[in-house]
Amino acid sequence: MANHDVVDSLRPDRKNSDDTRFNESPSESATPMTRIEAPAQAIALPTPTRRGLDVAALNETTKPRITRLVTITSALGFGVAALTFRPDALQLVTGLVAAIFGAGLAAAGANALNQVMEIDRDARMPRTMSRPLPSGRVTPLAVTIMGIELCVLGVVLAWVLAGMAPAILIAATVLSYLFLYTPSKPGFWSSTWIGAVPGALPPVIGWACVDGSWSSLAHVGPWALFTIMFVWQIPHFLAIAWMYKDDYAAGGYRVLPVVDKTGRWTWAMMVLWAALLLPVTVMPVLVMDVTPGFIAVPVALIAGAMFLRLTLKVTRTRTRADARKVLIGSVIYLPILMAAWVADAALGLVLGVQGTPLG
C-alpha cells in the first residue's frame, strides 16, 4: 500500500467584497458610513467546512485508486494460486471474495488512518492541502472510526471466508503500513523501501486465500510475486517523489529526492531498480509449473526493456517532466505485465499443465 495519489487541482475560495459592507437602517440612512474593504488574499484558502457527514469526502480518504490496485494484485495472487492448487468450487468462491474484499476493505481503512496521522503535514503541502481532512470537509474522528472499522472488517472477513493465514497477513500489512512506513517518512530517506514491503504483500494475501493455511505459502510462487511488486514500486514512487520534492520538503518528509539535491542518487536508483525488473519478472515462469512462459516471458522482457530504456533516456536531464514520463511508464507497465501472467496461466490450463491439488 503504498502512500501516494494523483494531484488535486487547487481552487482557492474568493471572498465576496459584498460581505464587508455595513447595512444602513432607515433611521441612519443620512449618516455617512465608511465602506471597509477586506484585503485581497494571495494565498490558497482551504475549502470551508461542511456540516454533516460527507460520504464522498470519506470515500476520498480511502484513496480509491490505491485500494483498487491492492484488490487487483490480491486477486492476481489468488488466481495464480488457484491454478496451482486447484481448490474445490466452495474454496474458489470464498477465497476469491476474501482476496478481493478482505484485502480491499483493510487497504481502504489503512489509507484513511494514514491520512489522519498525516493531517498536519498534508495541510502544508500544495499537493495535498485540498484533501478532505486538511480542508475540513470531514473530521478526524469520523475518518478514524471509519478506518478502524474497515480494517477490522477486512481482517474478520478474510478469517471467516479463507482462514487464519490471510487474516494475519492483512493485519500485518495494515500495521506495518501505519506504524513502520508512515512514521519513517519524516526521518528516513529509505522510507520508500520500507513502504514497499506492505505494498508488495497483497499478492501474497491473495495466494494465502486459496486455502487459508500457512502451507500454501511454502511455495515459492507468492514470494516471486512479492519480489516483482516490491521492485516495481521503487522507480514508480521515486518518480512521484522527484515530481513533488518541493511539496515533500514543505511537509517535512525526508524522501530521497529531498536529501539528494542534484538527483544523482535518485535517478541512479530508478535505473537500477528498473533494470532489476527484467530478471525478477521472468521468475514466476521459472518457479511455477502452471505458467509455461510462452506469453509471460516475451512480454515481460519487451515491456521491461522499454521501461528501462525510458528511464535511461531521461536520467541526464532529470526534469519534472522526465519524472512524469517514468511515472506514466510504470503505470502502463504493471497492468501489461499482470495481463501477461493471467494469459500465460490460462494458456497453461488449455495446454493441460497439471497443478498441485490441495490436501
**Whole-number pLDDT of residue 346:** 81
Are 157 and 120 part of one and the same domain? yes
* Residue 45 belongs to a domain: no
Q: Give the Cβ contact number of residue 265 at 10 Å.
A: 14
Give the residue numbers spanning the domain of 247.
Answer: 220-352
Same domain, 210 and 226: no
Contact 112, 150 (CB under 8 A): yes
Give the C-alpha separation, 188 to 253, whole Å.
8
What cell was used for 217?
Answer: 505459502
Tens digits of residue pLDDT in 291-343: 778 898 999 999 999 999 999 998 989 999 999 999 999 999 999 999 998 88
In whole angstroms, give the CA distance from residue 193 to residue 234.
Answer: 7
Boundary residue ending a domain (219, 236, 261): 219
Decide: pTM greater than 0.85: no
User: 5 in a domain, yes or no?
Assistant: no
**Whether residues 137 and 268 fall in one domain:** no
Answer yes or no: are the C-beta atoms of 340 and 300 closer than 8 Å.
Answer: yes
Q: How far is CA 159 from the centre of its chain?
A: 23
Q: Which three cell numbers stand for residue 80?
A: 495464480
For 229-275, write each residue's pLDDT tens digit: 999 999 999 999 999 999 999 999 999 999 999 999 999 999 999 99
C-alpha cell at 69: 490496485
The widest CA-to-CA distance across the chain, in whole angstroms, is 96
Q: Contact at 8 Å (CB) between 216 and 81?
A: yes
260, 304 Cβ separation under 8 angstroms: no
Q: Are residues 234 and 248 in the same domain?
A: yes
Decide which of 219, 240, 257 is a domain's last residue: 219
CA gap 296, 187 in Å, rounded = 39
Q: Are residues 348 and 319 in the same domain?
A: yes
Is there a domain that residue 149 lies in?
yes
- On whether both 193 and 245 belong to a single domain, the answer is no
Same domain, 206 and 236: no
Query: Domain tally for the chain?
Result: 2
Instruction: For 101-120, write each residue's pLDDT tens digit.
Output: 999 999 999 999 999 999 99
d(CA 148, CA 146): 6
- pLDDT(31) > 80: no
